[in-house]
Chain A
């Protein structure tokens, strides 16, 4: 069965520093992968998506992610973090066949200090 692991429950960085949030997936096939962000008391907002193709995908607000089939990973990166990036980030995988349900990781809380 497909699964997603986000090994870091919390990450703390200073504003302006670079960021990497880790995501490992388990899926027997070609995955569709997503990163979502959740701000307090809000729903999930799509940051970026990976469909089979270029392994590096660009998202909103300077975020990017790199797919690695050999490492079964889809890590999220940002070159310079802003205080407004303080939120919870979820990695998710979808079965490729027909855009079915998403399986989510447990989420990573990103804290940004000034």
Chain B
């Protein structure tokens, strides 16, 4: 089991460019979460999917951010017109979503996004 896979590990974009971050959850996990980590704000929830359906996007900025889960094996987080304040580590996590231990989330290594 390779764990949660996130690509790329590092991404540098210029201000105004688009960034797409990828996440492959653990096989068999039905829930996928996205979080953002910065020094100032700490770990913030962005959005999550269960069985590929969006369940809660209450943490997503209203503009420029979007997330999708087109199939059970990957999710993407897209940031349009990136701004320097979007610089952060973006973490993806997955969980079983059912049965004993359903609430445990397993995290990927993160994608460090730097916007110049």
Known: A101-B45, A104-B42. A46 touches B110 (CB 8 A): no
CB distance from A57 to the nearest CB of B (A): 12
Q: Is the CB of B107 within 8 A of A101?
A: no
Q: Is the CB of B43 within 8 A of A100?
A: no
The closest CB in chain A to the CB of B47 belongs to A101
Specify which chain A residues have a CB less than 8 angstroms from the CB of B96 in the assembled complex: 99
CB distance from A59 to the nearest CB of B (A): 12
Q: Is the CB of B45 within 8 A of A46?
A: no
Q: Is the CB of B48 within 8 A of A90?
A: no
Which parts of B9-36 form the interface with A (CB within 8 Å)?
A: 31, 33, 35
The closest CB in chain A to the CB of B4 belongs to A43
Question: Chain B contact residues (Cβ within 8 angstroms of A): what range?
Answer: 20 to 34
Question: Chain A contact residues (Cβ within 8 angstroms of B): what range?
Answer: 20 to 34
How many A-B pairs have beta carbons closer than 8 Å: the answer is 56
A56 interface residue (CB < 8 Å to B) = no
A44 to B109, CA, bound (A): 8
CB distance from B57 to the nearest CB of A (A): 10
A32 interface residue (CB < 8 Å to B) = yes
Known: A49-B104, A101-B59, A102-B105. A44 touches B48 (CB 8 A): no
The closest CB in chain A to the CB of B102 belongs to A99
Q: Is the CB of B56 within 8 A of A42?
A: no
The closest CB in chain B to the CB of A97 belongs to B103
Flag B81-109 by CB within 8 Å of A: 1 or 0 each: 00000000001010111000111111111
Q: Is the CB of A99 within 8 A of B59?
A: no
The closest CB in chain A to the CB of B44 belongs to A104
Specify which chain A residues have a CB less than 8 angstroms from the CB of B106 in the assembled complex: 46
A106 interface residue (CB < 8 Å to B) = yes
Which parts of A32-54 form the interface with B (CB within 8 Å)?
A: 32, 34, 36, 41-46, 49, 51
The closest CB in chain B to the CB of A103 belongs to B45
Q: Is the CB of B103 within 8 A of A32?
A: yes
Q: Is the CB of B42 within 8 A of A101?
A: no
- What are 24 contact pairs spanning A and B, CB under 8 A? A32-B103, A34-B105, A42-B109, A43-B4, A43-B110, A44-B91, A44-B93, A51-B103, A92-B43, A99-B31, A99-B95, A99-B103, A100-B48, A100-B55, A101-B45, A101-B48, A101-B59, A102-B45, A102-B105, A103-B45, A104-B42, A104-B43, A106-B42, A107-B43
